[in-house]
Amino acid sequence: MNYETILCEIEDGIGTITLNRPKVLNAINDELLKEMSEALDIFAENQNVKVVILTGGDKVFAAGADIVFMSEASSLEAESFVRLCHETIDKITNLDKPVIAAIAGLALGGGCELTLSCDIRIAAEGTNIGLPEINLGLYPGGGGTQRLTRLVGTGWAKQLLMTGKPIDAKSALNIGLVTKVVPAQELMKEAKGLALELARKSTIAMRLMKSCIDYGENVDLPSGCLFEQKVWALLLSTDDAHEGMKAFLEKRKPDFRGR
């Protein structure tokens, strides 16, 4: 898995994608999206990958979409780029494994939008997160107007989107944009620890639960609850559910096999 703009590794059941364009603060271009998309396909197929971490490492997550490219792009190039953004971001949302964003330094614009598609976001102290597109005469085109609003509510979404001012990690924690803030040097340790914890759970229960949460976000409550009921009934007959309940009754740790 050799790429130009990302690093990609699989270790201990965890697939990690690290954005890797340090000279431009991991600005997101066409190539980076294509490489990320390919890595996500590999992680989706590989049964040994139980959890995915998306990160920029311990310095900077990403300063947004590549402004050099955008400033020169024709409408057709813009259309192709924004489609690729959405396709890649949708791949993260639709991956049937948990995806953790480990965010350090900056997550701006498209960088922030990438994290919004992840299941859990943790940030290093000192990180600034925001959507400054309005200051470029733009607005976020990678799902930011939609996903941010669903995550933190209309009030905070409009505050962030309309002012374009990033907020620090502690404020992000207060509004639910991230769920944990840790010292910068502990970010990757924290992300890997969480990933290992999730990797030990039943992959099938995790997958079906993720689909219930994500499906439910886009439908009315009765439809979401009906979906949950049907999928839950299916889940109850799996080996993992039998093993989990048997292990509880036998007072031992469960040995989940993902079946």
What amino acid positions are annotated as catalytic residues?
A: 113, 133
Long-range contacts of 210-214 (CB under 8 A, 24+ apart): 210/96, 210/97, 210/98, 210/119, 211/96, 214/93, 214/94
Residue 56 or 110 with smaller CB distance to ligand HXC: 110
Which tokens hold the place of 235? 């889940």
Phi, psi of 18 (to 5 degrees): -115, 120
Contact yes or no for 5/29 (Cβ under 8 A): yes
Could you tell me the maximum CA-CA distance found in the chain, to the nearest angstrom?
Answer: 65
CB-wise, 116 or 195, nearer to ligand HXC?
Answer: 116
Structure tokens at 157: 């979404």
Residue given tokens 């080996």 in the structure block? 239
The site for ligand HXC (CB under 6 A) is made up of 24-25, 27, 63-68, 82, 85, 106, 108-110, 132-133, 136, 138, 140-142
Of 251, 248, 238, nearest to 207 by C-alpha is 238
Smallest gap from Cβ 40 to ligand HXC, in A, equals 17
Instruction: Using CB atoms within 10 Å of the CB of residue 155, give its burial: 0 to 12 exposed, 13 to 18 middle, 19+ buried.
Output: exposed
Strands 120-124 and 180-182, sheet pairing: parallel
- Which residue's Cβ lies closest to ligand HXC? 109
User: In angstroms, rounded to a whole number, what is the distance separating the alpha carbons of residues 81 and 79?
Assistant: 5
- Sorted by sequence, the CB contacts under 8 Å of residue 19 that are 6+ apart come out as 5, 6, 26, 28, 32, 36, 55, 56, 57, 61, 62
Chain length of the chain: 259
